[in-house]
Chains A and B, each alone.
Chain A
Amino acid sequence: MSSVADAHGRDADRHHPDLVHHFESLPAQKEAATFGMWVFLVTEVMFFGGLFLAYTIYRNLYFHAFVQSSRHLNLTLGAVNTAVLICSSLTMAMGVHSSALGRRRATVAWLLLTVALGSVFLGIKAVEYKDKFDHHLVPGERFQAEELHLEGEESRPAQIFYALYFAMTGLHATHMVIGIPIILFIAWMAHRGRFSPEYHTPVELTGLYWHFVDIIWIFLFPLLYLIGRHH
């Protein structure tokens, strides 16, 4: 059945090992993968979007409680973490750049540096979380609003602020916890020489994901840490 064998498309012109059978060419395959990643990131925007919406509504309804709650967040740690994450975005961009040039060792080094910076971010985040637990600022029955200088009716929405704080930063941190092993895996593949200037799509897609996580934090930082700091 020669015609069936034909349809397998395994003829001589199309033998690049990274080209899967249903694509015409490597660039077409890469275009599709990149576009698919972007569509995925759009779904992520909408996923976080629900929380950003809740934040917008409650911040307008309970502005004072949000200001008082926000001031209890550690501005220094938040700012340092923002810088750390921006650094990790730079190292990730350099990692993708190195892989596009086929520089194997540089790729691995930049990716590992990205993982290190991501871990620093998560470490600082853990310190901040612990502080909130110590001060009973975790939503629930034992929530205490005294330290926020809120009383009576006004103290209740502070729980909503902290609920959103934990939900938004927690979801963001979850994305980083998922991202770090992926980067490690990609670094291992790079170390094994799986990528080339013609084929390094996995590195690029991982980069897109990591930059997206960075963008979420770029919005979380001013929204959560910088409300009413000037009073």
Chain B
Amino acid sequence: MTTQIGPGESGPPRPPVPPAPAEAPPPRVNYLNVAYGVKSWLLTTDHKRIALLYLAGVTLMFFLGGAFAVLIRLELVTPAGDLVQSETYNKLFTMHGIIMVFFFLIPSIPAVLGNFLIPLMIGARDLAFPRLNLASWYIYMIGAAFTIFVLVSGGVDTGWTFYTPYSTTYSNTHVVAAGLGVFITGFSSILTGLNFIVTIHRMRAPGLTWFRLPLFVWAHYATSLIMVLGTPVIAITLLTVVLERTLHLGIYDPRLGGDPVLFQHLFWFYSHPAVYIMILPAMGVVSEVVACFSRKRIFGYEVVAMSSLAIAVIGFLVWGHHMFISGQSTYAGLVFSFLSFLVAIPSAIKVFNWTSTLYKGSVSYDTPMLYAIGFVGLFTIGGLTGLFLAALGLDVHVTDTYFVVAHFHYIMVGGAIMGYLGGIHFWWPKITGRLYPEMWARVAAVIVFAGFNLTFFPQFILGYLGMPRRYHAYPEEFQVLNVMSSAGASILGLGYLLPMIYLVWSMRYGPRASANPWQAKGLEWQTASPPITENFERQPVVSEEAYAYAPEEEARVV
């Protein structure tokens, strides 16, 4: 029985007015104040604290990677390569790619939000292997240290793809250290995925069957499968590149009969599914947010859950579409092209089902919802242009142009980062126990959306007109579009700085959050904000479906 709620009283109540200081609650023990001091953080095995350690790590890497993006966009304001030399420019886009892909996008949502929320969402006290979880953070930091070493000692110029034979034979930059950095951080990803898989299989609360799991958990399960099955392949690939440089192994050396295309196969066997490591968790976030701010169960819940698995599986069968012009067999190219189209099916299922969830829902536009709606739009553009690129014939025309750059930034920045920011805002009250300033947050969300489109939409046109990627100089007729892109990048940068400022501000000055400020469903909202170290006072028992948003629930005061 669904009753339409009028627009006036629709949606979750606005974040409640902070309680007057006089009736401020007494200090309550939670995971943040249970212990103090550096040691209590660096030796913690609490998944929530480890999530915050990751948050610090990925935020640092995000702004590092962002600094390189700023320099790239500054260089591209003028057609002449006049700000940096071409060698320097090669290092700029390489460092931007390596840092953003391996040290921000891949760990961002799983290691921060997944780490924090999966045990809470499934009613567990912790992940299955808490010490392994802490170890994975240290491994990530060691990998990051390698990358920062590369950065201060002169950089690397192979592109984030480390293509052979340039990386193995010709490059005179720090390929070995950069490769080892990525190799090492890969193990952090593997251990996180392993931990999630075992946790989701073995630690669910009584009554929490697979088809009662939040879609966020389903998305992370699919992501973990990719992490576990794909990451070891990039590990061995980069290890062979390092060995080839140091010990002259020769596996990819054409002079010995080795085939550089084999490197590309191995590289993309991981690195294509890695895109789904970035986007699937963001899709999980969007599912949670859309359900909560439409006050409805996700339309076709089971299908959306299965589509995550389908994306993970099909995503492993399409890697050859990165290699259409590499000398790969035309027949293999045909097969990979066809299989690439198949990924569109589960992706479209998600988009249609989120949209159908909005239909007749009582929708409210709080900040997380703004990001979620932005995600759906931008992901759709990124996904549809992906179909252009999957088409063998058209891809030959736009390979290695800004069309490709724009396409994957729509997925990674417009998709993954929008999802990440939406998720950070949605669960910020749970993580910190404080509310962020809603007005500023909405302004920032709009700035991010506008800045993003101004940055990357012109790049579609640039690419279609034939501007190749990875050059620091370009013909003059491309300047207008490049200036638009650089202007958009500065707006986007502002949009990213704002949350940084007001979120930090809110940790001290934000109003205190109740246990469930959004009136959301899900076990993570059934415990205090911030939660206690053990997550729940008593073992929760689940007796209803996920997203059981119903009118009568609205009335109940929690």
Contact = CB atoms under 8 A, between A and B. Distances in A.
User: Are any A and B Cβ atoms less than 8 Å apart in their complex?
Assistant: yes
Interface of A: 1, 3-4, 6-9, 20-23, 28, 31-33, 35-36, 39-40, 42-51, 53-54, 57-58, 61-62, 139-141, 156-157, 159-160, 163-164, 166-167
A231 B256 CA distance: 25
B266 A167 contact: no
A56 B202 CA distance: 37
A35 B231 contact: no
A32 B266 CA distance: 31
Contacts of B248: 139-141
A223 to B, nearest CB: 15
Given A4-B532, A51-B236, A156-B257, A39 B198 contact: yes
B130 A22 contact: yes
Interface in B38-94: none
B537 A167 contact: no
A48 B236 contact: yes
A1 B258 CA distance: 68
B230 A57 contact: no
Given A21-B125, A160-B251, A49 B262 contact: no
Contacts of B112: none
B29 interface: yes
Nearest to A140: B248
Given A9-B125, A139-B249, 15 more contacts: A4-B29, A4-B537, A23-B203, A32-B198, A35-B198, A36-B194, A43-B228, A43-B229, A46-B232, A46-B233, A50-B232, A53-B265, A57-B259, A156-B257, A160-B251
Contact of A163 (B190, B251, B538): B251
A50 B202 contact: no
Interface of B: 29, 124-126, 128-130, 190, 194-195, 197-198, 201-203, 228-233, 235-237, 240, 243, 247-251, 255-259, 262, 265-266, 532, 534, 536-538
A166 B246 CA distance: 14
A9 B534 contact: yes
Residue with the greatest number of chain B CB neighbours at <10 A, chosen from A22, A36, A57: A22
Contacts of A47: 232-233, 235-236
Given A6-B537, A159-B256, A42 B251 contact: no
B29 A159 contact: no
A4 B309 CA distance: 38
A32 B537 contact: no
A39 B29 CA distance: 36
Contacts of B202: 28, 31-32, 35
A20 B202 CA distance: 15
B257 A167 contact: no
B263 to A, nearest CB: 9
Contact of A22 (B29, B124, B197, B265): B124
Closest 5 CB pairs of A and B: A50-B236, A22-B125, A47-B232, A46-B232, A7-B534
A164 B130 CA distance: 37
A32 B229 contact: no
Contacts of A160: 250-251, 256-258
A1 B228 CA distance: 41
Contact of A53 (B230, B231, B266): B266
Contact of B251 (A3, A7, A167): A167
18 contacts: A7-B538, A20-B130, A22-B128, A22-B130, A22-B203, A36-B194, A39-B194, A42-B229, A43-B231, A43-B232, A49-B233, A49-B236, A50-B233, A50-B237, A53-B265, A58-B251, A163-B250, A164-B251
Contacts of B128: 22, 32, 36
A154 to B, nearest CB: 9
Nearest to B252: A54
Contacts of B125: 9, 21-22
Contacts of B250: 139, 159-160, 163
A49 B236 CA distance: 8
Contact of A40 (B124, B194, B258): B194
Contacts of B243: 167
B228 A39 contact: yes
Contacts of B235: 47
B189 to A, nearest CB: 10
A6 to B, nearest CB: 7
Given A4-B29, A7-B536, A22-B124, A139 B236 contact: no
Given A44-B232, A167-B251, A36 B129 contact: yes
Nearest to B30: A4
B247 A139 contact: yes
